[in-house]
Amino acid sequence: MTPEPEAAGRPRTQRSGERDARRVRLVPGGPMMVEGPVEVVLDDGTTVTCDRFQVALCTCRRSHRYPFCDTSHRARRRPGAKPRPDDGSEAAAS
C-alpha cells in the first residue's frame, strides 16, 4: 500500500514522533528569522531555548547575545558599500 500524496490545501496529519514544521526566512546581510519557539544546539553541545513567536538567529557571529541576533551586523559595513542617506554623511560633507 503506497501512501496517498498530500493534496494542496489539505492539512497534513502528524505521525507520532514528527514535529511541526517551522518557517525559516534568511534576511540578506542580517539574521535568520525562525518561527518560534526554538531550541538551538550550539557547537559545544549546549542547548539554548527561546519561547518567543519569532526568533532572530545571528548569522554573522558579531552578536553579544549569540546565537541570538542583537543587530551588531548593522554596525559594520562591507568595503565599498554606499552610505545610507540617513547616516548623516551628506550633512558632514556640506
pLDDT tens figures, 57-69: 999 988 999 999 9
- DSSP letter string over 4-49? PPPPTTSPPPPPTT------EEEPTTS-EEEESSEEEE-TTS-EEE
**Would you state the pLDDT for residue 64?**
92
pLDDT tens figures, 77-88: 656 556 555 545
pLDDT tens figures, 8-41: 455 555 555 666 778 999 999 889 999 989 999 9
